[in-house]
Structure 1
Amino acid sequence: MISSPFPQPQVPPGTVSADLAGKHVIVTGVAGGIGGCVARHFAAAGAHVSAADIREQALRAVVEDIKSTGASIQAIPVDISNPDSVRAMTDAARTAFGPVDILVHAAAIDAPRGLAWELDDSHWQRIINVDLNGSFWCAKSVIPEMIEKRQGRIILISSVSAKIGSASTSCAYNAAKSGVIGMVIGLAKQLEQHNVLVNAVAPGSIGTGEPMIEEEITFEVANYPLPIVGPDPVARACLYLAGSGGSWTSGSVLNVSGGRLHGW
C-alpha cells in the first residue's frame, strides 16, 4: 500500500459477526488499500477469505500479516483481465474453503492521469479491460454456484468518478467505473429471483493508491467536507452489504465519499 498524504486513523476491525462467521468470501485487489482493508475486516468477522491480486509478493505479505491474527485466509494470484486466470482463482478458492458465498471485487487500475486525445489506443483498452471487463469476469465466475444454492452477495467497487470528472484523470477510468454501475444494475435484475444480491460501493478519494501531486492534495482537502480517513469506511460498507443489513438491498450504489458526492 502506498503511503497516504492524509491522516489514516487506525480503526480496529469489528468483532466476529454472526452474519459472516464461516462464510467464504473472495476479495480481489488485496495488495491495495481497499482490498487489503476489506480482507482484514472480513477475516476479523470470522469469514474464510480467499485473497487475490496480481501483485503476488505484496499479496502474500498482506495475507501473512492477517493470518498472524489467527484468521482463515489464503493467497491466490490472479490477473483479472484474463478470464482463464479468474476461473482458476475461483476454482482454487473453492478447493480451499468450499462454495463462495460473497465476492468483493476491489481490484482495478487506479485513476490514471492523461488527456483523452493525447493517450494511445492501448491505454483505453487496458483500463477498460482491467477495470470493467475484469469486474465482469470475476462476477461471472461465482454466479452459477450462487444461483444453484440460491444465495450469494456480489459487491463491486466503483467510484465517484462514475459521476464526477477531472481535468487530470483519464476519461477511460470514468467510463470503466460508470460501466461497473451499469453492470450492477443489469446483474441485479437478472439475479434477484435467485436470491443473489448485486450492489456497488462508490468511494471517493481515500488517500491510498497512486501518489498525488501537491495540487491534487490541495484540491481533495478543499472538496471533501469530511476528512479523508482511508479505506476503512469502504470496507465497513462492504460488511454491511454482505451481512443481514444488506438483505433487502439490490442493484444499489452505496456512496461512501466523505461528502464529495451527494445523492447518486
Structure 2
Amino acid sequence: MYDFTGKTAVVTGAASGIGAVIAHELAASGATVIVSDLQAEGCDQTVTAIMDKGGKALAFAADVSDPSSMEALVAFAEAETGALHLAVNNAGIGGAQAPVGEYPLEAWQQVMDVNLNGVFYAMRYQIPAMERAGGGAIVNMASILGSVGFANSSAYVASKHAIVGLTKTAAIEYAQKSVRINAVGPGFVETPLLTKNLSQDMLDGLAGLHPMGRIGKPEEVSALTCFLLSDRASFITGSYHLVDGGYTSP
C-alpha cells in the first residue's frame, strides 16, 4: 500500500503488540526498521520475524526514559543506514491504579518518565536527524485517554494528554522544515499487555465501552500509523487521530 523503500524508521516499544505490528508493516513496505525496546530479547525476536519475511530490520535495545539512550538510538540509525526518515514513539506503560489522592508518587514519576519524557527525549534527537535527512515524519502514540479521563489512571491519562500537546507544538515548530508530526489515539487494543492481565469478563466489559462492541486490533492502529507516515498524508501535521471503535463519540 505504501512505498517506504530507501527510508529508515525507528519504532520504540517494538518487541511486541502494536509496536511490533507497525515494525512489520513498515518493513513490508520497504523501510529499514530499527526495532527498539527495553527488552533486548524481544527486539531480536521482532527483527528475526521481519527478516524471515524478507524485510530489513536491526535491533537496538534502549530505555526511552534515558535521554542518552535515545540519543544513542538515533545515532545508531544514522550510522547503520545513513539517515533517519520515520519514527513511531510507541513505548509506554500503564502505571498504578489508584485515585489521585492516593496515587503512589514513585509510580507517577515512572509513568511520566516513560510515557511523556520518553516521547520528548526521542523527538529531541529524531527531529534534528530528520532535518539532516531533508525531512521526515513522526507518529507519537497517545491514546483515547489523551482526550478523555479514566478513573484511577491519573498518571497515564495526564501523560497521554501531554503527548497530544507536545505533538501539536512540535508540529507547528517544524511544519516549514519538512518534518510532519502527528499523534494516534488507540482505544483498548488486543495486545499481550492487555490480555495477560485481565480476565475474559473484564475484557468483555472493556469491549462494551466501545460502540462497535469489541476491542481493537494492533493491525488497525498500524494501518493508521503507516498512513500518517506516508506521503499520502503529506498535508497532515499537528493532528490527533483516533482509532477507537467510537469510544470517544458518546
Q: What TM-score do you get using the length of structure 1 for normalisation?
A: 0.88
The aligned counterpart of 1:51 is: 35
Note the C-alpha offset of 1:98: 1.5
Report the Cα distance in structure 1 between the residues aligned to 2:199 and 2:154, rounded to whole angstroms: 19
Secondary structure, aligned partner of 2:207: helix
Residue deviations 1:153-180 (CA, integer Å, cap 9, x gap)? 011000001122223x420000000000
Trace 1:159-178 onto structure 2 (pairs within 5 A): 159-167=143-151, 169-178=152-161
Q: 2:116, 2:160 within 8 Å by CA — same for their partners in 1?
A: yes
Unaligned runs of 5+ in 2: none
Q: Decide whether aligned partners of structure 1 residues 254 and 111 sit closer, same or farther in structure 2, where only a CA change above 3 A counts.
A: farther
Q: 2:5 aligns with which of 21, 27, 31?
A: 21
Trace 1:1-264 onto structure 2 (pairs within 5 A): 17-18=2-3, 20-110=4-94, 112-167=96-151, 169-208=152-191, 209-210=193-194, 211-214=197-200, 216-226=202-212, 227-262=214-249
Report the Cα distance in structure 1 between the residues aligned to 2:228 and 2:128, rounded to whole angstroms: 20
Note the C-alpha offset of 1:214: 4.8
Report the Cα distance in structure 2 between the residues aligned to 1:61 and 1:149, rounded to whole angstroms: 29
Aligned partner of 1:216: which letter? M
Instruction: Specify which structure has the higher proportion of helix.
Output: 2
Secondary structure, aligned partner of 2:242: strand
Report the Cα distance in structure 1 between the residues aligned to 2:94 and 2:218, rounded to whole angstroms: 14
Note the C-alpha offset of 1:65: 1.2
Q: What TM-score do you get using the length of structure 2 for normalisation?
A: 0.93
Identity %: 29
Note the C-alpha offset of 1:58: 1.7
Aligned partner of 1:241: which letter? L
Unaligned runs of 5+ in 1: 1-13
Moved more, 211-220 or 146-155: 211-220
Note the C-alpha offset of 1:150: 3.5
Q: Decide whether aligned partners of structure 1 residues 112 and 22 sit closer, same or farther in structure 2, where only a CA change above 3 A counts.
A: farther
Report the Cα distance in structure 2 between the residues aligned to 1:131 and 1:30, rounded to whole angstroms: 15
Q: 2:94, 2:111 within 8 Å by CA — same for their partners in 1?
A: no
Secondary structure, aligned partner of 1:189: helix
Report the Cα distance in structure 1 between the residues aligned to 2:166 and 2:73, rounded to whole angstroms: 21
The aligned counterpart of 1:7 is: none
Q: 2:119, 2:163 within 8 Å by CA — same for their partners in 1?
A: yes
Aligned partner of 2:202: which letter? E
Residue deviations 1:137-162 (CA, integer Å, cap 9, x gap)? 01111111222344110110000011
Report the Cα distance in structure 1 between the residues aligned to 2:167 and 2:157, rounded to whole angstroms: 16
Report the Cα distance in structure 2 between the residues aligned to 1:119 and 1:171, rounded to whole angstroms: 8
Aligned partner of 2:203: which letter? I
Aligned partner of 1:85: which letter? S
